[in-house]
Amino acid sequence: MTARAPSEILDTLEQAGYEAYYVGGCVRDRLLGRPVHDWDITTSAMPEVVLALFGHCVPTGIAHGTVTVLLEDTGAEVTTFRTDGSYHDGRHPDRVTFVRSLREDQARRDFTVNAMAMDRWGRIYDAFGGQADLDRRLLRAVGDPETRFREDALRMLRALRFSAQLDFTVESETLAAIGRCAGLARALSAERVRDELEKTLLSPRPETVAEMAGLGLLTAFGLTESRDLSALAVLPAKAAVRWAGLCRAYPSLDLEALRLPKRPAQDAMAAARIPYPGDRLGWKRLLSAEGETRGRIAAALAHQTETVEEILASGECLWLKDLAVTGADFPALRGPALGRRLHALLAYVLEHPEANIRETLLHIPLDSQGSPAVEFSANFANRS
């Protein structure tokens, strides 16, 4: 059958004689009254059964028991009850064992608030005290925290990431175990760490990244101490801006080592290093030299987005492509000399937008360096 809503997946599985529950983040977010952004379902049915029952599905992680059932506007991940072994590649458990009971499946989950299940009638299956921890706003490991962090060190970063997203506290024994196990985070793949950091940076408490650094979870990336990240929370919640803000506080951070795609990584790192100009002309020069992407990020960091958007909307010439003359207008000049002339004219036009007229630029008097003479006034453009 073709399911349209996640509840139909539960219905279909149950009618076929299997157990099926919502589990993990969707149950937690429902109980907290937060929007649910993805649906995880856990079931006693084996993956082949799930594949056979639903028309539109993808065997996304069949070896780990996961089938994605496509719904009208999203998908739901349907995973067979299982336990996990260790995560040696730091991404997937090496070996999973399918198990019979919901409770065993709940026991493999990271935190009590992520280990609750809900059936189609809304009944909650809370084997590890998740509801009490939701009420106390605590992130507590399921089982012995140290054992759980040794199985998968990412859970330490997840604890802090969820604390930032949900405004929860990491329970004291869980936090103490993070302190003891932090060194294990060195072995994690950069991609997994990047994903946790980005979610934290985009959360209402991005300064939690400093806490991760202070706990020793980010030493592999050169972040070895907590620093003041209080400026981040007031920045727009856009990944490029928040990453750049982090780079401002930790200038040695290499976003490419964190496996951000090359262009966004370089843009964020470059924008973080740009000194903020003091006036509109300074922002124009910055946009001209650094380009729109980096200019916008720098503006966000400096709380000058309005200034920069006004400049970009003004239609004033910022780049050679907008200059009223091109190389073809200077047939006597070649190579570097031509480049210098065009850039000199651009620099002039940045200061005097009204001079961006072909006739004006062709006849502009030059000083001995080939730049428009300083005494050349903007009014020239109006007179000519």
* Residue 38 binds Mg ion, judged by CB under 5 A: yes
* Residue 105 binds ligand ATP, judged by CB under 6 A: no
Phi-psi region at 222: left, alpha or beta (left = phi > 0; alpha = psi -120 to 50) = left
Query: What sign does the CA torsion over 180, 184, 188, 190 have?
Result: positive
* Residue 196 binds ligand ATP, judged by CB under 6 A: no
**Identified binder of ligand ATP from the candidate list 75, 117, 138, 155, rule CB under 6 A:** 155
Per CB under 6 A, the segment of 48-56, 150-158, 208-216, 261-269 that binds ligand ATP is 150-158
Per CB under 6 A, the segment of 109-117, 174-182, 288-296, 372-380 that binds ligand ATP is 109-117
* Residue 114 binds ligand ATP, judged by CB under 6 A: yes
* Residue 80 binds ligand ATP, judged by CB under 6 A: no
* Residue 40 binds ligand ATP, judged by CB under 6 A: yes
**Identified binder of ligand ATP from the candidate list 3, 139, 154, 299, rule CB under 6 A:** 154
* Residue 90 binds ligand ATP, judged by CB under 6 A: no
| CB 126, min distance to ligand ATP, A | 13
Tokens 């969707």 sit at which residue? Answer: 26
In the bound state with Mg ion, the residue whose beta carbon lies nearer, of 67 and 297, is 67
| CB 77, min distance to Mg ion, A | 8
Distance CA 78, CA 66 (A): 6
**Identified binder of ligand ATP from the candidate list 8, 16, 25, 83, rule CB under 6 A:** 25
Give 45-51 contacts, CB < 8 A, sequence gap 24+.
45/13, 45/16, 45/18, 45/20, 45/80, 46/80, 46/98, 47/80, 49/16, 49/18, 50/13, 50/78, 50/80
CB 208 within 8 A of CB 235: no
Distance CA 80, CA 66 (A): 7
Site residues, Mg ion (CB under 5 A):
25, 38
Site residues, ligand ATP (CB under 6 A):
24-25, 38, 40, 109-110, 114-115, 152, 154-155
